[in-house]
Structure formats: C-alpha cells, structure tokens
C-alpha cells in the first residue's frame, strides 16, 4: 500500500509548525524527528513506561499512543517548555538538588506528569505522589529521590509570590 | 515507524463514520482513545487497512442522565467520568471502578466505550457494565440496535459488534435508593490490569440483604456474572465467596495461577459485599 500522508499544523510549546507526515507516525516520533524536540523520550512505545508523556491541552498523555495527525488543533507541551538551563523549572531544580535522576531517561516524562499532578494537587501526600508516579517507570529504580524531589518542588511552588 | 501502513479517516459525523465502516468492513478498525489499539499497532499485532478515528465526532461527546439511565457517548474520556459529580452521585460503582483503569495519563485519552468495545477480560469497565445490566447502543448504516451488556461480551477481546457497527453510547442504570456498591480488585502494581476484580451492588431493606449483583473480571474470557453466587450472597457473604471459588474457572498465566485467582475471587467477593452493604446502610457493618 502507498504510504498515506497528511499535512497538519501542530502547536507545540506555543509555536505553530507545519509538517507533512505519514498518517501512521506517532506524535512522539514527529516531535523528535520532524521538530527536533528530542527531550521527549521513547521507551516501550506501547503506553507502559511513560517516558514519552507530554501535555495535550494541558493534560498528560502518552505521545507514543497518539498519531501526529490527531494532535492537530490541540496544544502540545513538551519538556523543552518547562525551563531553560539558566532558569530551571522548580521541578527541574528540585530534581537537580535531590538527585532525582540517575540515567535520566525517564525524567522528561516524570517531569511532565508531575507538572500536571502538582497543578491539580498542590499539597499532595507522599502516598499520592507515589500513586501519581505509578504511570512512569524508572529502571534505575531511583524512586526515593524522585519522591523527595517532588515533595520539595511542591513545597517550593506553594510559597507565596510564586 | 512502529505502526503498519494504514489509511486514515477522521469523519466529523456519525453518519460518515458508519459509512466508512460499511465500505471497509473487516478491514477497518475504530480508533477512539487509542490506549489499547495503538499499542497493538505499535507491536504490529493488529494490521487494519484503515483506521476510522472517531475523535472528531463532537456529537458523541455527551454525559448525562435521562429517564433513569446515565448515557455515556463514545467520545467521553474516562477522566471526565472520573471527575463527574453526576456520575459519582448517580452511578457510583462506575465512578469507583474507573479510577482503577490504567493511570491518569491513560484515562485522559481512553474512553468508556472504547474500553467496552476492546473487551479485555481483565478490564474494569466491562465488569461494571455486566454487573449493572448496562445497555450498549450501536449504529450502522442499517440503523441502531441496543445490546444488553451480558450479550455484548462474547469472548476474549470479542464482542457482539459487527464490523460495520459503531458503539455510539453506553447506558448505565442509575442506582435506586437502598443500593450500595463496591468495586475491588487485586493487581500486582497500581494501574495494572486486575488479577481478579469484583463489581458489586447490594440492595438492603430493613437491614436485610434483598438483592445482589456481582460480576467478576480477570476470572474468565468475559466478565462473569453468576446467578448462583448472587443468590448465595443474599443469604450469606462468606458462602457466596466459596460459591464463586467453586464455580469460576479462570485461566492461570504468568501473573497468577488459576487457583490463586479463584482464591482472590472468594476473598474479594466478601470484601466487595461488605463494603457495598456498609454503603447501602450508611456505614453499618454487615452482621
């Protein structure tokens, strides 16, 4: 069968991109290969590991389980939008300070999941943080420090004036 | 690229969607939330010639009560059901069970109707549908028909849907006064499919159990409802658990043996019934 393609406009991190992609191409592959946004990682490509988590209209979703053509008309946010090396997002700063990553492969998905989680639950219990992380696998098994970093970030983000 | 080559249609009306299905027949697959279908495509376990994406069918994005039934359109995502106060009040068993489906990242895309149409034997929502006697509304070019949940699930990952039919709506009966509910399951990890799960409804009058509805997931190729277990539960919760252990014949696999699943069914039966009883009576434990 001939490879069907489609030209779509994708709104990613506030910028509109026009791309022509095979209809079967996932959003994750399109972000990485067509837009050069390689912060979104691909682990299992079957919706289990959570490394590819991005925000779709502000809600965390698996970008390996979404076709790029389906993202047209929606707002996509990737880890690249969180902070800059000079000005890290509070979550990124907390992961740095609490050694919340080892190899770092799962980190982009975890950061994105936590951004959405802390917005809905600014004062989570440790148990709730653990549950929120259940959809993101860290095979270095550095969960203790990830939970600590999430707690620290939550406290920091709750401070008045932030 | 992981998925195989396919053609892609994203109709904007149900009429167009069922036309696509009528023309393509077996070669087409409906794409709703994609949380089960996309993994199958990425693994190339499914190779449909054509995907009919129903995400642009705004007309199926409704969730409301009408004449004693909660109507869930095929575009309604699980997260919306989870967060709906109306669902929590009117069909609390559905509200409780939907939280066990995957993770928030999955429920943000996954739909209630998609989970029913996929018919995974260990999935939570088919169990709720069978326990409550839900009705599934399906449409094709030939018209609309209604399928009772107990006739909808015909085997593992298999339903009574014909290739030209689209599941457009699931209808769950509103809980009448006096009914308590519980969904309980055991998983290896939070968010996994259930090793075994039980959806229960208990009707209590004058502090006595008068009627029981029970459905098991992860205990057979489809959600299982056993009238004998329900009748036993009206008399005695523990006896109902033993009845379930004796009558269910789950498969064993990598995650749990058949015997362990039967054991879970017995224990979870009691747990679900006691919780449902407490809710029916406003907190009174079952004697």
Task: Judge if B104 and B65 occupy the same domain.
Answer: yes
Instruction: Return the CATH number at B218.
Output: 3.30.390.50
As given in the structure block, the two tokens for residue B149 are 């949940």
Per residue in A61-93, pLDDT tens? 999 999 999 999 999 999 999 999 999 999 999
Task: Judge if B135 and B223 occupy the same domain.
Answer: no
Query: Per the CB < 8 Å rule, is B8 touching A24?
Result: yes
Q: Does a structural domain hold residue B2?
A: no
Residue ending a domain, among B127, B157, B173, is: B173
B191 close contact with A: CB closer than 8 A: yes
Query: Per the CB < 8 Å rule, is B106 touching A62?
Result: yes
Cβ-in-10-Å burial (0-12, 13-18, 19+) of A110 comes to: buried
Domain boundaries, chain A: 5-81, 90-158
d(CA B269, CA B271): 6
Q: Decide: B133 and B149 in contact? Cβ < 8 Å.
A: yes
Q: Decide: A76 and A16 in contact? Cβ < 8 Å.
A: no
- The ipTM of this complex is 0.95
Instruction: Return the CATH number at B97.
Output: 3.30.465.10
Task: Judge if B157 and B74 occupy the same domain.
Answer: yes
Q: What is A90-158's CATH superfamily?
A: [2Fe-2S]-binding domain (1.10.150.120)
B67 Rama class: left (phi>0) / alpha (psi -120 to 50) / beta: left
Q: Does a structural domain hold residue B285?
A: no
Between the alpha carbon of residue B129 and those of residues A72, B135, B147, B223, the distances in Å are 33, 8, 11, 9
Distance from CA of B69 to the nearest CA of A (A): 29
Q: Does a structural domain hold residue B63?
A: yes
* A9 beta partners: A18
What pLDDT score does A162 carry?
66
Q: How many distinct helices (H) and strands (E) make up chain A?
A: 5, 5
Which residue from B153, B150, B101, B155 is spatially nearest to B123, judged by alpha carbons?
B101
As given in the structure block, the two tokens for residue A119 are 């917005």
Q: How many distinct helices (H) and strands (E) make up chain B?
A: 12, 13
Beta strand B153-155 with B179-186 is unpaired
Beta strands in chain A (DSSP E): 5-12, 15-22, 53-56, 59-62, 75-77
Q: Does a structural domain hold residue B227?
A: yes
B106 closest CB neighbour out of A6, A47, A117: A47
Task: Judge if B188 and B223 occupy the same domain.
Answer: yes
Statement: residue A156 has pLDDT above 80: yes
B105 close contact with A: CB closer than 8 A: yes
10-residue block means of pLDDT along chain B (287 residues)? Answer: 95 98 95 98 96 98 97 98 97 97 97 98 97 98 97 97 98 95 93 93 95 97 96 97 96 94 98 97 83
Task: Judge if B209 and B233 occupy the same domain.
Answer: yes
A72 close contact with B: CB closer than 8 A: no
Query: Per the CB < 8 Å rule, is A135 touching B105?
Result: yes
Q: What is the DSSP letter of A73?
A: T
As given in the structure block, the two tokens for residue A128 are 């709730």
As given in the structure block, the two tokens for residue A160 are 């008045």
Q: Which domain holds residue B31?
A: 7-53
Q: Does a structural domain hold residue B286?
A: no
B8 closest CB neighbour out of A45, A69, A131: A69
Query: Per the CB < 8 Å rule, is B79 touching A59?
Result: yes
What value does the mean pLDDT take over residues A48-73? 98
Greatest Cα pair distance, chain B, in angstroms, is: 62
Residue ending a domain, among B150, B173, B196, is: B173
Residue ending a domain, among B53, B74, B91, is: B53
Instruction: Quote the number of domains for chain B.
Output: 3
Average pLDDT, chain A: 96
Distance from CA of A62 to the nearest CA of B (A): 6
Q: Decide: B21 and B9 in contact? Cβ < 8 Å.
A: no
- Positive/negative CA dihedral, A76, A82, A85, A91: negative
B103, B107, B110: which to substitute to probe chain A, counting the most A Cβ within 10 Å? B103
What pLDDT score does B136 carry?
98
Q: What is the DSSP letter of A18?
A: E
Task: Tell me which residue has tokens 């069968």.
Answer: A1
B42 closest CB neighbour out of A46, A56, A60: A46
A46, A132, A136: which to substitute to probe chain B, counting the most B Cβ within 10 Å? A46
What pLDDT score does B139 carry?
98
Instruction: Return the CATH number at B47.
Output: 3.30.43.10
With beta carbons under 8 A apart, name residues in chain A contacting B105: 50, 53, 60-62, 113, 135
Query: If you count them, how many residues does chain B have?
Result: 287
What pLDDT score does B130 carry?
98
Looking at 3.40.50.720, 3.10.20.30, 3.40.190.10, 3.30.530.20, the CATH number of the domain A5-81 comes to 3.10.20.30
Q: Decide: A102 and A142 in contact? Cβ < 8 Å.
A: yes
Q: Does a structural domain hold residue B26?
A: yes
Which residue from B205, B175, B199 is spatially nearest to B88, judged by alpha carbons?
B175
Task: Tell me which residue has tokens 């995650």.
Answer: B255
A134 close contact with B: CB closer than 8 A: yes
Task: Judge if B39 and B72 occupy the same domain.
Answer: no
Q: How far apart are the first and last CA of chain B?
A: 59
With beta carbons under 8 A apart, name residues in chain A contacting B58: none
Q: Does a structural domain hold residue B260?
A: yes
Element (H, E) at B181: strand B179-186
Q: How far apart are the first and last CA of chain A?
A: 54
Phi, psi of B89 (to 5 degrees): -80, -40
What pLDDT score does B193 carry?
86
Which residue from A12, A24, A103 is spatially nearest to A69, judged by alpha carbons?
A24
As given in the structure block, the two tokens for residue A108 are 């982009």
- Binned at pLDDT 50, 70 and 90, residue A54 comes out as very high
């Amino acid at each position: 069968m001939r490879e069907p393609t489609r030209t779509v406009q994708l709104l990613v991190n506030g910028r509109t991109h026009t791309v022509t992609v095979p209809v079967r191409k996932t959003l994750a592959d399109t972000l990485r290969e067509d837009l050069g946004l390689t912060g979104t990682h691909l682990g299992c490509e079957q919706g289990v590991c959570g490394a590819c988590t991005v925000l779709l209209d502000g809600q965390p979703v698996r970008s390996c389980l979404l076709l790029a053509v389906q993202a047209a008309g929606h707002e996509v946010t990737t880890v690249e939008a969180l902070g800059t090396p000079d000005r890290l997002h509070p979550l990124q700063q907390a992961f740095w300070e609490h050694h919340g990553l080892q190899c770092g492969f799962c980190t982009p998905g975890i950061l994105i999941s936590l951004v959405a989680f802390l917005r809905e639950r600014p004062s989570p219990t440790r148990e709730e943080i653990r549950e929120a992380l259940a959809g993101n696998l860290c095979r270095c098994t550095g969960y203790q420090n990830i939970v600590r970093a999430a707690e620290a970030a939550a406290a920091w983000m709750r401070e008045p004036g932030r | 690229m992981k998925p195989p080559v396919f053609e892609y249609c994203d109709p904007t009306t149900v009429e167009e969607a069922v036309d696509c299905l009528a023309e393509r027949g077996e070669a087409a697959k409906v794409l709703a939330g994609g949380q089960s279908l996309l993994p199958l495509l990425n693994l190339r376990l499914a190779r449909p010639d054509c995907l009919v994406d129903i995400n642009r069918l705004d007309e199926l994005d409704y969730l409301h009560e009408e004449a004693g039934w909660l109507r869930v359109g095929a575009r309604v995502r699980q997260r919306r059901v989870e967060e709906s106060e109306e669902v929590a009040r009117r069909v609390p068993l559905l509200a409780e069970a939907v939280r066990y489906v995957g993770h928030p990242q999955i429920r943000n895309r996954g739909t209630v109707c998609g989970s029913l149409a996929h018919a995974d034997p260990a999935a939570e929502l088919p169990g709720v549908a069978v326990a409550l006697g839900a009705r599934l509304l399906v449409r094709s070019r030939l018209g609309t028909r209604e399928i009772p949940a107990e006739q909808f699930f015909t085997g593992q990952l298999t339903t009574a849907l014909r290739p030209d039919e689209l599941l457009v709506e699931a209808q769950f009966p509103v809980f009448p006064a006096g009914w308590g509910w519980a969904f309980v399951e055991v998983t290896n990890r939070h968010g996994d499919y259930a090793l075994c799960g039980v959806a229960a409804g208990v009707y209590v009058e004058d502090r006595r159990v008068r009627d029981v509805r029970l459905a098991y997931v992860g205990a057979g190729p489809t959600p299982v409802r056993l009238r004998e277990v329900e009748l036993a539960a009206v008399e005695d919760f523990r006896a109902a658990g033993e009845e379930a252990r004796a009558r269910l014949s789950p498969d064993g696999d990598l995650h749990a043996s058949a015997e362990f699943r039967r054991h879970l069914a017995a224990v979870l039966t009691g747990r679900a019934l006691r919780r449902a009883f407490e809710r029916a009576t406003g907190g009174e434990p079952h004697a």
